[in-house]
Structures are given as C-alpha cells and as structure tokens.
Structure 1
Amino acid sequence: MKITTEAGERHVLAITVDNEAGVLAKITGLFTARGYNIESLTVADITADHALSRITIVTSGPPPVIDQIIAQLDRLVPVHKVVDLADHEAHVEREIALVKVAGTGDKRIEALRMADVFRAKVVDTTLTSFIFEITGNSDKVDRFIALMRECGLVEVGRTGVVAIARGAEAL
C-alpha cells in the first residue's frame, strides 16, 4: 500500500547487508549526502552466524527519487539486497513505543481507559504516572500519543518501523 505524504510517497526499504562495523554509516551517509530524509531506521542481526543484518528504513519521495535511492543502495559493497516493501502490497509493519503519562484523578482514569481501547499495556506505574507499551502501525502509535497529550504526556520512546512481506518466501 502506497501512502502519499507532503514529501511524496512513503516507502519502507528492507536492506540486507553484511553485519560489520561502518555499514550503517555508509547507508545513512548516502541519504545525508543526497539530502534524503530518513523517517525511521531499525537494524538487527538476522542470521545465526551473525553474518548479515537487516536495515529497515522508512523514507518518502517521488518515485524517481526512490528509484535513485534504491539504485544507489544496490551499488554499495556491503549491500546484498534492497527491497521496497511498498511494491509488495501485502506486508506487515509494526512499531513499539513506550509512552510516559503523568496525572492523577480523572486524567489518570482517562489515560487508562484510552490505553485499554488501543490495547496498550501498562509496563510501569507509580502513584502519579504510567508507562504504557503500545505496538502497531505508525498511524496507531501516532494517534495514541496524540490522545495521551491531553492526559499529561511526559515522554515518548519509539523503536522505529520493522516490516516484512507476507507469504511463504523470504525477500
């Protein structure tokens, strides 16, 4: 599913790379040098022998710019494969956020009620605050955070998007 933003179409790029020092700097350096924005970035080791990592980058831009980004990424030595998950209609995206909300009385009750609606879990609590864990697509996380602003939002920590294509085959 392609989502259009002010900066262009939103794309989720899954990049398989060698798991070695400096690779992430090369990838982000490519974006920086050309003035491309990274909206979200996650990296994780994906093989038992720790030889490969998967970098998931969310970026936006018109199709020719995205095509240029993919072509330039493909040319980097430590890159094995680049896949634009926006080209795969069926993919799953998730993000985790920890959301700290402070409040007492009605605000506290309202925060708990909204957390229940969004299926956010309470992972820590004091007499004056909660830390909620919420998992879902970025839109769901954004909506939850926006509602928590009304209840006394203090702080947010987000993981960034992780995504994978649906189906039996690996990318």
Structure 2
Amino acid sequence: MKIKHQAAERHVLTITVDNEAGILAKIAGLFTARGYNIDSLTVADITENHAVSRITIVTHGPPAVIDQIHAQLERLVPVHKVIDLTEAGDHVERELALVKVKGTGDARVEALRLAEVFRAKVIDTTTSSFVFELTGDPGKIDRFVALMRELGLVEVGRTGVVGMMRGAEAA
C-alpha cells in the first residue's frame, strides 16, 4: 500500500479569545503537545473594554493537520472564533520589522537607496549605522533583510504577521 504524503501549506489563523491570563499559554501548549510549529504569533487586545483579544498564528501543515488544529482551537474555552484567512478568501497580511545595518561609504549609500525602493523609513542613524522601519507582507521583509545581509546586517526584530479579510464586513 502506497502512503500519500500531502505537502505542507502555509496558513494564517486568527483566533478571537477572552482577554484573560493563560489563554496564550493554552493555545501555544496545544501546538506544542501535538508537534505543530508556530512560524509567527501575534496577540493584541481588540476591544475598548479590554475583554477580547485577537491572536494571529502562522503555521504550516497538510490540509488534514490544519483542519485538526482548527477544530482543536474551536473546542478551547475561552475561544470565540477561529478563522483560517488562507481558506476564507481574499485577505491582507502585514508585518513590521526593525532592521539594523552597519556600513560606511558605498555600502551606506546602497543601504539608503534600497531602503527607499522598499519604502523603509530611517528611524535611527549614526555615522556608521542605520535602523530601518519596514512594513509589508512577510515576503517583502524577507527580501529586504536578504539584501541588507550583503551590506552589513547587524540585527532584525519582527513583530509577526497580522491579517484581516478584505471588504467591509468583519470576519
């Protein structure tokens, strides 16, 4: 009997939860206990009264594993809603990165030129370094970091992905 292996697909999951202590640990524990990897994780309070938070998780897996993750998340209390943005349709994703680059002379000029092309903003500078702020989809940030690596990349800090469905309706 031949076993069919399914390719791992990237999925962006948004999870709306009560804003209470321990829920993030409970969700991370669900992933850890089952051997699922979290590529990116963000969480923030989303209501005026601080009662509800939104967690965004980027993970990879074959469809059956993603379905299992989705079902297990929905069974957790205090999870209100789980949406797989990847499956739900058109959505936007953004990430923020701070990128520190050292360099002088031509490398410094090239770093500034590339930052302009990528619409990165200089938020700190010395005579031998820059810190750039860059927002965009994760691929854009990956490309910028790769180019800066050749010019003197020192450090990168990334927020993780946040995502939202397109259109006027709430997810």
Same fold (TM over 0.5): yes
Deviation at 1:114, TM superposition (A): 0.5
Aligned mates of 1:138, 1:14 — CA distance in 2: 17
Residues 34-73 of structure 1: pairs in structure 2 closer than 5 A: 34-73=34-73
**Which residue is equivalent to 2:3?**
none
Aligned mates of 1:109, 1:97 — CA distance in 2: 21
- Structure 2: runs of 5+ lacking an equivalent: 1-5
Aligned mates of 1:112, 1:8 — CA distance in 2: 37
- CA-to-aligned-CA distance 1:94-151 (integer Å, 9 cap, x gap): 0000000000000000000100110000000000000000100000000000000011
Q: Tell me, yes or no, if structure 1 residue 127 matches structure 2 residue 148.
A: no
**Partner secondary structure for residue 151 of structure 2:** coil
Deviation at 1:168, TM superposition (A): 1.3
Say if 1:32 and 1:7 are closer, same or farther in 2 by CA, change over 3 A: farther
Q: Is the 8 A contact 1:97 1:158 kept in 2?
A: yes
Aligned-residue sequence identity (percent) comes to 76
Residues 85-164 of structure 1: pairs in structure 2 closer than 5 A: 85-164=85-164
RMSD: 1.0
2:104 maps to a residue whose letter is T
Runs of 4+, deviation exceeding 2 Å:
none
TM-score calculated relative to the size of structure 1: 0.95
Aligned mates of 1:33, 1:88 — CA distance in 2: 26
Q: Is the 8 A contact 1:7 1:60 kept in 2?
A: no
Q: Is the 8 A contact 1:85 1:164 kept in 2?
A: yes
- Structure 1: runs of 5+ lacking an equivalent: 1-5
Aligned mates of 1:69, 1:7 — CA distance in 2: 16
